[in-house]
Amino acid sequence: MRRGVGIGGINQQLLEKAKFSEKGSELARDHLEKLAKQFETFRDNLEKFAEKHRNEIKKDLKFRQQFQDMCATVGVDPLASSKGFWSQVLGVGDFYYELAVQIVEVCVATSAQNGGLISLDELLLRVRKARGKSKSAQDVSTDDILRAIKKLRALGDGFAVIEPTNGQGRILIQCIPGELSMDHTAILNSLQTRSSFTKEQLRDQLKWSDERIEAAIDFMVKEGLVWIDNNGRYTEYYFPGLFTAQRVTNGESV
């Protein structure tokens, strides 16, 4: 008859298990320390790289985007503070804070025309005009605009980026308080090449009930996002922000 392991055997097993656990914790600590040292080394090299290529980062749109992407891979945010190394050496903090102010100014100035909804392309064009064409003015890209808007999100839900669900079409900037619902966003995404729609078009395209369409339209009309055009035969609804976006796409001045 086989005898049990007994109290002594159990204690021995527990002791070995504790030793394995302690060794595992020790290895984990060593691994984390090595990773921390590697991160610090990389951060130091990143700062040296940034200091060496300061002018390219400030003046070259593509180079600046690549630098931002490189920072993101290691969790470094050059815009996290307007003070410190990144602002002192690169001035990137000041650059994006200034850009955010200009974005707000453009959105406020155009809100009566577009109801607080503006295409990214039109916003970029207007911001570039506001910055002027002097040699001292740094050019900006859509990537710069989107990064600055992310900083504006800290002020509340007044600014949001609406991207097409299929990855194609116009990127829109919402600059009015309050989040648009999924229904409102779905209507926007349905207008890839036009700026207006009818209830019948929404019913055929989205397969919604009349009550659902009415609720979405009523809200957008109330908020000034949509204008009504009743020509006697049928009622058409316009997004003024998309109408000006089409003009920008066609190369017309705004």
Residue 155 lies in a domain: yes
Residues 62 and 180 in one domain: no
CATH number for the domain harbouring residue 170: 1.10.10.10
Residue 34 lies in a domain: no
The domain boundary residue, chosen from 90, 123, 146: 90
Give the model confidence (pLDDT) of 101-120 as tens digits: 888 889 888 887 888 888 89
Residues 220 and 142 in one domain: yes
The domain tally of the chain equals 2
Of 232, 234, 166, 165, the C-alpha closest to 196 is 234
Helix axes 61-73, 142-152, angle to 10 degrees: 50
Residue 5 lies in a domain: no
Whether the CB-CB separation of 248 and 125 falls below 8 Å is answered with: yes
Residues 59 and 175 in one domain: no
Distance between CA atoms of 164 and 186, rounded to whole angstroms? 9
Residues 176 and 60 in one domain: no
Residues 191 and 208 in one domain: yes
pLDDT band at 211 (very low <50, low <70, confident <90, very high): very high
> Can you give the residue range of the structural domain that contains 60?
48-90
Give the model confidence (pLDDT) of 25-34 as tens digits: 767 777 777 7
- pTM of the entire predicted model: 0.61
